[in-house]
Amino acid sequence: MNLRDLKYIVAVADEKHFGRAAEECAVSQPTLSAQIIKLEDYLQIQIFERHRGNLIITPAGAEIIQQARIILDHAEQIHKISAFATDRFAGTLSLGIIPTIAPYLLPLILKKLASQLPKLTLQLKEAQTHQLISDLKDGKIDAMILALPTEETTFKEIDIYREDFYLAVPENHPFAQKKVIQTDTLDGESFMLLEEGHCLRDQTMELCRLKPSQIGQSLRATSIETLLEMVRCGHGMTVVPELVTKQGRGNICFIPFAKPIPHRRVGLVFRQTFSRQDLMVKLVETMQGIL
Amino acid sequence: MNLRDLKYIVAVADEKHFGRAAEECAVSQPTLSAQIIKLEDYLQIQIFERHRGNLIITPAGAEIIQQARIILDHAEQIHKISAFATDRFAGTLSLGIIPTIAPYLLPLILKKLASQLPKLTLQLKEAQTHQLISDLKDGKIDAMILALPTEETTFKEIDIYREDFYLAVPENHPFAQKKVIQTDTLDGESFMLLEEGHCLRDQTMELCRLKPSQIGQSLRATSIETLLEMVRCGHGMTVVPELVTKQGRGNICFIPFAKPIPHRRVGLVFRQTFSRQDLMVKLVETMQGIL
DNA sequence: TATTTTCAATAGATAAAACCTATCATATAT
DNA sequence: ATATATGATAGGTTTTATCTATTGAAAATA
């Protein structure tokens, strides 16, 4: 049995005439006749009684045609679903973002993004890199924004922006007077970092070549904001990405690093096999246009 | 798009594995893969994201699969309808019967017929021959029982029984003493007939070679029972088929005719193209067994 | 009654598709 | 580094759908 066959019998039921039904289905009359005979043969049941000018639908045939109409309706639905879905910039996108990006990037772009991609609905999830990677593999999210690279071969990455790091010190700290800072002058300083699992923690440790003794152990900071609060109170210093410095903050100085300026690449990551790659490109372009 | 394709994507959605889905569909994995790719291509939409061991259904794909399940359900319905309908002795049969047969034949057979063809429901319609012929052509009824032949080339006829005619006279009539009656002794007698349109009227006129002057004009009898009531009251005589004589009636004598005995053939008639010919044969055999 | 018209089925040939086996490519697990 | 698992690709075969032309049978018309 075949959707085409069902179309044929519905056409015959509508037209009560094989020739006209064939025309409606854009096939020749013998083709339509043969297919219907084959269907009747397959179902072991007669659907139509043929007479000239007087076509009778058998009772079972009428029931079958009723089902066929339902089936064709739903088949049409499938076409509609596809047609809608092929508007690649519409629909819902489930997007993961790491905690050191989300609160600083989202306020800058969400509003304009909604106006430039009006048919796109974002479903946001904030989690650490390793969690997002797992979610992306499982299909729980469609894409994610985080620090590149991910080292995952099954993912594709597109750079969105490059973000320089800054040293955050209390404004009464000696460093606060410096225009730039050399990473090798940080040797004895005491640092505060985010809790384990944040990529920013690892990046900071690496770029400042921190010894375990320099890292404040008492604190398990879950956010940059907490960290900055501690800095403000003079418990130590920390490193933050550029976007964090854009919001006005009292009592804290953000000192640029000397060249080569340490930074991170922030990008959009998705599965190589993801079905909406053109939306990914569009999304990145739109975000870059806003920033 | 094709019912087979829909079966394939539902199988993949269920199994989350192309190989197992192919097995379930009893085709090779390349076949299933190729068909699904072709479907995705045709719909211009990706239904699955392929990874090893981790198959993800796209949002649009999920909607399509939902529709596909509905469609396959209804397709299954079509199979069930056919399977039920191919029990050729089940279902409803719309049967027309002429008024000179219905009230005498039906009481004899209906009960036993219901027990011997328990799954068959009869929908009975009583009408004159010409009306039944028109209804049968239009498919308003499936078959009819009447006096043969119909002279219609598009119908098939099966004889059920042969029915001799009898002369009905009041018991005080001189003819009432006769064992048999010769048709050529009826010349001057006055007859009462059914109204126009009844085949029995025409048959009686023919077999008795009645002149218009012999036929009572005042009466437009719509049933044999009315006619017999008139005979009982001595208004004349009439001719009735054998089954009418089987019910005990006072004050009326039914005289057999001399050879060659005039009679009519009663049979089952249906369209040559009717889909339940084997039921027709079975029905006639069953009725003959009962009579 | 004979002829024409109408309508669906049949015949024969061609084109399209679905299918199979064998193999490849890639990612994951060992 | 090797083996395994999974889905895609290649090439060839079979099946199916389709076409045009024709036939057959009933109905309408002359």
pLDDT band, very low/low/confident/very high, at A139 (cuts 50, 70, 90): confident
Residue pair A144/A242 in contact (Cβ under 8 Å)? The answer is: no
CA distance B225 to B243: 13
Please give the protein residue whose CA is closest to the C1' of the nucleotide D19.
A28
Domains of chain A, residue spans: 3-85, 89-291
Q: Hey, are the CB atoms on B1 and A75 less than 8 Å from each other?
A: yes
Residue pair B252/B236 in contact (Cβ under 8 Å)? The answer is: no
pLDDT band, very low/low/confident/very high, at A218 (cuts 50, 70, 90): low
Mean pLDDT over each residue of chain A, to the nearest integer: 89
Return the CATH number of the domain spanning residue range A89-291.
Answer: 3.40.190.290
Please give the protein residue whose CA is closest to the C1' of the nucleotide D16.
A35
A124: three-class secondary structure by DSSP: strand
Cα angle, residue A149 at apex, residues A147 and A154 outer, rounded to 5°:
120
* pLDDT for B35: 93
pLDDT band, very low/low/confident/very high, at B218 (cuts 50, 70, 90): low
- Say yes or no: Cβ of B17 under 7 A from any atom of strand D: yes
Alpha-carbon separation of residue B49 from A10, A272, B3, B30, B91 (angstroms): 35, 9, 22, 17, 48
Convert the pLDDT of each residue in A45-87 to its tens digit: 899 988 876 788 988 899 899 889 989 988 988 998 888 787 7
- Rounded to the nearest angstrom, the gap between the alpha carbon of residue B243 and the centroid of all alpha carbons in its chain is 22
Q: Hey, are the CB atoms on A81 and B75 less than 8 Å from each other?
A: no
Give me the architecture of the B162-264 domain, per CATH. 3-Layer(aba) Sandwich (3.40)
Of A1-15, A98-112, B212-226, least confident by mean pLDDT is B212-226
pLDDT band, very low/low/confident/very high, at B213 (cuts 50, 70, 90): confident
pLDDT band, very low/low/confident/very high, at B102 (cuts 50, 70, 90): very high
- Per DSSP bridges, beta strands B238-241 and B155-170 are antiparallel
Asked if the domains at B3-85 and B162-264 fall in one CATH topology, the answer is: no
Residue pair B204/B162 in contact (Cβ under 8 Å)? The answer is: no
Res B219 pLDDT > 80: no
Q: Which residues of B have a CB under 8 Å from any CB of A?
A: 1-4, 43-46, 49-51, 54, 56-60, 63-64, 67-68, 70-71, 74-75, 77-79, 81-82, 84-86, 91-92, 137-139, 154, 271, 273-275
pLDDT band, very low/low/confident/very high, at B256 (cuts 50, 70, 90): very high
Superfamily of domain B91-161+265-290: Periplasmic binding protein-like II (3.40.190.10)
> Which regions of B45-154 does DSSP assign to beta strands (E)?
48-49, 56-57, 91-97, 120-126, 143-148
Convert the pLDDT of each residue in B47-92 to its tens digit: 998 887 678 888 889 989 988 998 998 898 899 888 888 777 888 8
Q: Hey, are the CB atoms on B139 and A75 less than 8 Å from each other?
A: no
* Rounded CA–C1' distance between A273 and D19, in angstroms: 42
Name the one residue in this structure whose structure tokens are 């690093």.
A257
- Rounded to the nearest angstrom, the gap between the alpha carbon of residue A272 and the centroid of all alpha carbons in its chain is 12
* pLDDT for A39: 92
Convert the pLDDT of each residue in B171-204 to its tens digit: 888 888 888 898 888 887 888 899 888 999 989 9
For the B3-85 domain, the top CATH level (class) is mainly alpha
